[in-house]
Amino acid sequence: MDAAVDAARRVADAASRRAAEVDHPGGFPEADVEALREAGLLAAPLRGQDGGIGLGTAPGSLHALLTVLRTVGRGSLPLGRLYEGHVNALLLIDQFGTDAQRSRWAADARDGHLFGVWNTEIPADGVRYTVDRDRVRVEGAKTFASGCAHVTRPLVPGALGDGWQMAVLPLDTLDATVEPEWWQAEGMRASQSGRVDVSGTTVGTGALLGTPGDYLREPAFTGGSIRFAAVQLGGAEALARAARAHLARLGRTDHAGQQARFGQITTALETGALWLLGASRLMDPPAGTPDPEAVRAYAQMARTAIERVCLDVLEWTDRTVGARGLGAPGPSERVGRDLRLYLRQPDPDGAVEAAGAYALSHDARPLGSDL
Ligand SMILES: Cc1cc2nc3c(=O)[nH]c(=O)nc-3n(C[C@H](O)[C@H](O)[C@H](O)COP(=O)(O)OP(=O)(O)OC[C@H]3O[C@@H](n4cnc5c(N)ncnc54)[C@H](O)[C@@H]3O)c2cc1C
């Protein structure tokens, strides 16, 4: 697992040097995805017999996965988002795939296919599956589909009867309408989180993964939010690095106000890293199975805490570099823009409410710090 973290560091350093080049509408970090493949990180979540190292799938590997995600996010938040989606799809395949599906999609991952999970949709225009003997008709579209013009194996949950059914679509063989231009956000431009309309396509029933409802199965569904929090924390670390470099360039590291602020920044970043450590200990304990309710509550607490860390670091690094340091193209401006948007994940109020409801209905709070 240490080798994966080292590899992530190398990929992240290169991605950070290239990030400004792909920060435009329609941009995409193609060279960095290729670097992930070359470093073995696209295959890393696969089991050993499938050519991976079980990163995030083998017991005891969650902290390494979160460290890899944080590191990739530090290099580039769009790349971190794409890698997180790829990992999420492989984890779901590992959990719910048949042996034949696992080995088929493992071969695709080894061959460099990029996976993703495209769940978000406009309900009236959402994806629907209809099974007709051994074929599945697909109608509807997904929005916020990260890597829309480059992901060739999206895991696409959609309606099947009354249920929510996963399918892994071979997008490179389907006549889908892919709209990267739908993505007109100010931040995360290179994540290319556009719209994909798969209406009128058909796939074999072998594309269906698991049974209806598996995608939303707890505690994995809510617990998975720890992965986007790890990427977000990497973005905050990138802001701190950029601010430190800016101060060093201006010879301002001796300034007491800046030092005090850096004390806050570094404390906040370590708080975030400790939440990742606590989450790993609680969700991936050395022995036994964690309590599902505690996993959900802890993920919601960790996500909430790391969002706060990131918002604080955003404010403090803005103050540190000032207007002079926030010009484009520059890392403080770009990463700040990316992080501000990427922090907007589903239902943040619901997450903190659920953590509170757990605390009010249990005698003990979930402890990742005391195992
Ligand atoms: C860069 C980026 C890439 C993404 N990539 C993908 C992807 O590849 N695949 C994918 O599936 N999704 C993707 N998403 C979408 C993401 O998973 C979320 O769906 C999206 O970010 C939700 O953001 P939101 O702020 O609109 O959330 P919301 O949940 O709508 O939250 C907005 C606000 O409304 C509140 N709220 C929530 N529910 C209610 C309610 N019922 N009534 C009133 N208020 C409510 C929240 O607490 C919050 O204050 C991506 C998003 C981003 C930003």
pLDDT tens readout for residues 17-52: 999 999 999 999 999 999 999 999 999 999 999 999
The pLDDT of residue 370 is above 80: no
Q: Is residue 367 part of a domain?
A: no
Residue 247 neighbours by CB under 8 Å, 6+ apart: 253, 255, 258, 320, 321
Position 73 scores a pLDDT of: 98
Residue 189: give its domain's CATH number. 2.40.110.10
Residue in 101, 161, 152 with CA at minimum distance from that of residue 129: 161
What is the whole-number distance in angstroms between the Cα of residue 85 and the centre of ligand 1?
Answer: 15
Tokens 């994806």 map to which residue? 127
Check whether residue 187 and residue 94 sit in a common domain. Answer: no
The answer to whether position 368 is within a domain reads no
pLDDT digits (tens, 9 = 90+) for 150-207: 999 999 999 999 999 999 999 999 999 999 999 999 999 999 999 999 999 999 999 9
Are residues 253 and 351 both part of a single domain? yes
Q: Does some domain include residue 20? A: yes
Domain count, the chain: 3
Handedness of CA 280, 100, 154, 347 (dihedral sign): negative
Which residues, judged by CB distance below 6 Å to any ligand atom, belong to the binding site of ligand 1? 81, 85, 116-120, 144-146, 188, 191, 193, 341-342, 344-350
The tokens for 162 are 């009354």
Q: What confidence score (pLDDT) does residue 300 get?
A: 97
Q: Is residue 284 part of a domain?
A: yes
Question: Would the pLDDT of 364 be above 90?
Answer: no
Mutate which of 144, 155, 195 for ligand 1? The one with the most ligand atoms within 8 Å of its CB, which is: 144
For residue 369, pLDDT over 90 is answered with no
> pLDDT category, 1, cuts 50, 70, 90?
confident
Q: How many CA atoms lie within 13 A of 128 on its CB side?
A: 11
**Residues 90 and 127 occupy one common structural domain:** no
Query: In the listed set 114, 142, 165, which residue is the last one of a domain according to the structure?
Result: 114
Tell me, what CATH number does 80's domain have? Answer: 1.10.540.10
Angle between helices 225-250 and 292-325 (to 10 degrees): 20
196 and 234, same domain (yes or no): no
- At residue 371, the pLDDT reads 58
Atom 52 of ligand 1: nearest residue by CA position: 342
Residues 285 and 207 in one domain: no
pLDDT > 70: percent of the chain: 100
**Token match 């995030």: residue?**
56
**Using CA atoms, how far apart are residues 28 and 180, in angstroms rounded to an integer?**
10
pLDDT reported for residue 365: 81
**Cα(57)–Cα(135) distance, rounded to whole angstroms?**
30
Q: Buried b vs exposed e over 171-181: b needs ≥16 C-beta within 10 Å? A: beebebebbbe
Q: 250 with 356, same domain?
A: yes
Q: Do 89 and 175 belong to one domain?
A: no
Percent of the chain topping pLDDT 90: 96
Is residue 6 pLDDT above 70, yes or no? yes
For residue 177, give the nearest of 141, 208, 153 by alpha carbon. Answer: 141
The domain in which residue 58 lies consists of: 2-114
C-alpha neighbours within 13 Å on the C-beta side of residue 257? 6
Question: Mean per-residue pLDDT for 293-320?
Answer: 97
Alpha helices per DSSP H over 120-255: 220-223, 225-250
d(CA 215, CA 119): 10
Note whether 198 and 151 are same-domain residues.
Answer: yes
pLDDT of residue 307: 98
Residues 103, 108, 114, CA angle at the centre, nearest 5°?
A: 130
**Residue 240 confidence (pLDDT) above 70:** yes
Q: What is the mean pLDDT of residues 311-317?
A: 98
User: What is residue 201's three-state secondary structure?
Assistant: strand
Q: Looking at residue 368, what is its pLDDT?
A: 87
99 has a pLDDT exceeding 80:
yes
Tens-place pLDDT, residues 254-284? 999 999 999 999 999 999 999 999 999 999 9
In a domain, 371, yes or no: no
CATH number at residue 262: 1.20.140.10
| Rounded Cα–Cα distance for residues 76 and 13 (Å) | 9
